[in-house]
Structure 1
Amino acid sequence: MPVLATLARVYVDDLDAALPTFVQLTGEEPRLRFAYRDLELASVGGYLLLAGSEEALAPYRGTHATTIVESVDQVLDLAERHGGKILDGPNDVPTGRNLTVRHPGGATIEYVQFHESARSVFA
């Protein structure tokens, strides 16, 4: 089950204010920028910036990273075989499908299987 990329999550209150710093830090422009529920998200370099109010961000703060994978179904199978707890999903999201898993030991990771068009930004 190939991992295509892992993004560090950064929670911010204003995406437009935060992006210039991360663009300069990484030397890259945002690869993706989209809205999801009450959040605005952008990926730049190895970061996934999530912006919103404290209330909107609260359900997501416990997730440690976002990992882009070939198959959410394979992650679901692996999690079930190794005692992981499915916290959310699988869901359809703007970029494809996602799944959030709390693994044994306590790591909570969001896994995303991109639609083909979104996947090309990480090729």
Structure 2
Amino acid sequence: MSVLATFARVYVDDLDVALPTFVELTGEQPRLRFAYGDLDLAAVGGYLLLAGSAEALAPYSGTHATTIVESLDQVLRITEQHGGEILDGPNEVPTGRNVTVRHPGGATVEYVQFHATARSALA
């Protein structure tokens, strides 16, 4: 199974206020920036910033990381094989397809299989 990237999730109130600090910390500009429901998201360096109200962030705040993978089908197979639990998905999202998994031991991770446009932002 190929993991292409993993992002630490950072939950913020306002993306425009938070981004300059993370741009300076990483020395990078956001590679992706998009809206999803009531959230605004940006990937900068090894971070995925998720911005919104406390209510909008609440369903996502228990997820520890976002991992970009070659194949979501492989994630589903491994999850089943190891007794993990699918919490949400698979879903179509602005960057491709995702699934959120609770692994044995309690780690909750979102896995995303990027479509071609989003994948080019990783390069």
Say whether the fold is shared (TM-score over 0.5). yes
Which string of whole-angstrom CA distances, capped at 9 and with x for unpartnered residues, describes residues 41-71 of structure 1?
0000000000000000000000000000001
CA offset at residue 103 of structure 1? 0.2
Determine the C-alpha separation between the residues in 2 that align with 1:13 and 1:52.
5
Determine the C-alpha separation between the residues in 1 that align with 2:27 and 2:92.
31
Letter matched to residue 93 of structure 2: V
Aligned residue in 2 for 1:86: 86
User: What is the TM-score with the length of structure 2 in the denominator?
Assistant: 0.99
Aligned-residue identity in percent: 81
Aligned residue for 1:59, secondary structure, equals: coil
Aligned residue for 2:48, secondary structure, equals: strand
Q: How does 1:1-123 map to 2 (within 5 A)?
A: 1-123=1-123
Determine the C-alpha separation between the residues in 2 that align with 1:9 and 1:70.
20
Letter matched to residue 29 of structure 2: E
Determine the C-alpha separation between the residues in 2 that align with 1:78 and 1:72.
10
Off by >2 Å, runs of 4+ in structure 1 = none
Q: Would you say how many aligned residue pairs link Structure 1 and Structure 2? A: 123
Alpha-carbon RMSD across the aligned residues, in angstroms, is 0.4
User: What is the TM-score with the length of structure 1 in the denominator?
Assistant: 0.99
